[in-house]
Amino acid sequence: MGNLESLGQVVKCDVLVIGGGVTGLWCAIKAKEHVDRVLIVDKGPQDWGGQGSMSGGAMVGVVPPNDSTEAFLKDFVYYYDGLCDQELMQVILSGSYDIIRELIRLGYQFITDDQGNLKGIPQRALDHVRCYIGTPFGMGGKNMVACLVQECERLGVERIGRIMVTDILKKGGQATGAVGFDTINGRFYIFEARSVILALGHSGFKISYHHNTCAGGSIDIGLRAGLEVSNLEFNRVWIMPRYFQWEGQTHLLPLGAKMVNAKGEVFMDKYSPIFGTNTDPHFVSRGMAIEALLGNGPFYMDCTGMLPESVEMVTPKGDEWMALNYHRLKDELGMDFFKDKLEWMAHQRWSVGGIEADAKGLTKIPGLFASGRARTTDPTVYVGGFSLCLCQVLGSITGRCAGEFAKSQEQLPLEESEIKALRGHLFEPVGREGIPPSEVLNEVRKAVFCQDVAILKNERSLLKALSKMEEIRNELVPRMAAKDPHYLMKCIEVQGIALVGELFLRASLMRKESRAGHFRADYPERDNENWLCWIIAHQEGDHIKLGKKPVPVEKYKIMPTKYYSDNFSYPKVMEFLA
């Protein structure tokens, strides 16, 4: 131990939770049922709550007596175009109502009707799936996190903020802890643990103040640790206001809002007469991209068709960011969100690629777990409230399992030579001359954000972008420099983002079909014979290999027979892109 302490600050625990968002908080709460020393570390401020704190606090739930897990599962298999891990989805859905009840017990409040019943909003024109919104609207995420942090405090869960974890430690193939550094003072940390949970959330592109903490952490750390990752061809494309941020278009559209083009047309009626705009943003953004090529942009959200009681329900309240935005728009810019047509745009947010793990979160490495959005779950088409649902259900399950594992294990010794090498490599960018990480990040965005790469994918554009990403990987990433620990954190984030961007392109090229959130303009049809499978990535030496894993429909409850994307018909896009 003396030698280790010469390398950095040594911290011991039974269960180490990497990530202090909603997933990590649930992991810690449930792990504490089995062991004494549970520690959450997060690169953000202590107890900030991750992306969940900025959310609307809504979650999908199978609420008795009218809902059933089987009905919801059928909806998701259909919605995901068959690319659904039905065993995992069954676990998520069947645990959703227990989480809702536990949140209520902890003091969280959902919107209810006059009889006190939970008030759900239908999602994506699906037959059964609904999400339940926290109250007051605009404060849900903050209030949810506050309830979970309070429970962690009551249970004695330790939390440390401003620590970026960079690598997983192993001994004999088993996880033994992790290393990282303080992003303020640069102190090197060595975490000794009997089980480790990756609860890092999405790997994103730091697109705005609302999502600027999403980086490539889970994919980067997972691959270096020897884990497999999947779903990397699926990046989340969202529709957002051009000039400000807003949470909740998953509520606006089913309540009567419409997206219109510059001519005032509800343009999605052309591409899906059944759903129109009341559908997933990936289908809407395809329509927007085509309309823009036809000269029919820009695009506007028109909320004037919403009922007054619906407007009241989703008007931001309280003193958090949504209410601040809403009142500043009205008072300073003269924009009324619900009465004026405000310009919106397509907006690439993050990758939904994640780590491969079983239903309990255990990865192929004993003692190393992945939970919530750090793991792979869906092909990026989304229903409102599903992220908070899966993060809380899976966080609860993974926390228990990691706690049970830690309780059954002795702490394996840490490898001093491994830690020394990791420490030396980590701090190489500090103080040297080089490129600011922000410049490299902008180059990544330029490569992967183009509409013919992110939305109307095609081989020519993907190969062009991949060539640029290879140049970024070989020439720019190794030259990034950091003037202090804060910018070292930025360097590591951008390293992960560049990796995710390149893998997005490689996997998108590999999947020669269109399915769910992935659209190939040069392969616009679904191909079940060759592509009812997941694309899996793993690291071999200095290279990352891609392969296929078939969806085991023969052992699942539901055989896919109908597909959500069949409700859409787009023109031959390659003619526009020529």
User: Of 420, 453, 474, which residue is a domain's last?
Assistant: 420
User: Of 373, 396, 420, which residue is a domain's last?
Assistant: 420
CATH number where 340 lies: 3.90.700.10
Residues 279 and 307 in one domain: yes
Q: Give residue 578's pLDDT.
A: 66
Give me the residues of the chain with pLDDT under 70, please: 1-2, 209-211, 216, 578
Residues 410 and 306 in one domain: no
Residues 339 and 364 in one domain: no
DSSP string of 501-532? HHHHHHHHHH--S-BTTB-BTTB-S--HHHHS
What distance in Å separates the CA atoms of residue 167 and residue 171, rounded to the nearest whole number? 13
Which residue's entry shows tokens 């965005």? 445
Residues 443 and 559 in one domain: yes
Q: Which of 87, 71, 52 is nearest to 397 (CA)?
A: 87
Assign residue 177 a region: left if phi > 0, alpha if psi is -120 to 50, beta otherwise? left
CATH number where 14 lies: 3.50.50.60
Residue type, 91: V
| Residue 65 is assigned to a structural domain of this protein | no
Q: Give residue 478's pLDDT.
A: 98
What is the edge-to-edge ordering of all strands in the sheet holding 120-122?
59-60, 130-132, 120-122
User: Of 348, 371, 395, which residue is a domain's last?
Assistant: 348
Burial class, 66, CB count within 10 angstroms (exposed 0-12 / middle 13-18 / buried 19+):
exposed
| Residue 508 is assigned to a structural domain of this protein | yes
What distance in Å separates the CA atoms of residue 187 and residue 290, rounded to the nearest whole number? 51
Q: Which of 307, 367, 384 is nearest to 56 (CA)?
A: 384
| Residue 61 is assigned to a structural domain of this protein | no
Q: List C-alpha distances in Å: 398 to 25, 97, 165, 219.
A: 11, 17, 19, 18
Please check whether residue 516 is in contact with residue 279, taking contact to mean a CB–CB distance below 8 angstroms: no
* CB-side neighbour CA atoms (13 Å) of 148: 34
| Residue 71 is assigned to a structural domain of this protein | no
| Residue 168 is assigned to a structural domain of this protein | yes
Residues 488 and 514 in one domain: yes
Residues 295 and 384 in one domain: no
Work out how many domains the chain is built from and give that number: 3
Residues 357 and 208 in one domain: yes
Output b/e per residue, 411-449; b: 16+ Cβ within 10 A.
ebebeeeebeebbeebeebbeeebbbbeebbebbbebbb
Q: Give residue 433's pLDDT.
A: 96
Q: Which domain holds residue 335?
A: 238-348
Please check whether residue 125 is in contact with residue 279, taking contact to mean a CB–CB distance below 8 angstroms: yes
Residues 509 and 555 in one domain: yes
| Residue 96 is assigned to a structural domain of this protein | yes
**Strand pairing report for 342-351 and 203-204:** antiparallel
Q: Give residue 410's pLDDT.
A: 95
Residues 173 and 284 in one domain: no
| Residue 129 is assigned to a structural domain of this protein | no
Residues 447 and 548 in one domain: yes
Residues 230 and 242 in one domain: no
Q: How far is CA 133 from the centre of its chain?
A: 19
Handedness of CA 231, 234, 235, 240 (dihedral sign): negative
User: Which residues contact residue 531 at a Cβ distance below 8 angstroms, ignoring those fewer than 6 apart?
Assistant: 511, 512, 513, 515
Question: What is the phi/psi pair of residue 545, to 5°?
Answer: -100, 145
**Strand pairing report for 533-540 and 342-351:** unpaired
Residues 281 and 378 in one domain: no
What distance in Å separates the CA atoms of residue 440 and residue 442, rounded to the nearest whole number? 5
pLDDT in tens, 449-507: 999 999 999 999 999 999 999 999 999 999 999 999 999 999 999 999 999 999 999 99
Q: Residue 222, Cβ neighbours under 10 Å: how many?
A: 30
Strands (E), 111-153: 120-122, 130-132
Q: Which of 473, 469, 538, 471 is nearest to 504 (CA)?
A: 469
pTM of the prediction? 0.95
CATH number where 545 lies: 1.20.58.100
| Residue 64 is assigned to a structural domain of this protein | no
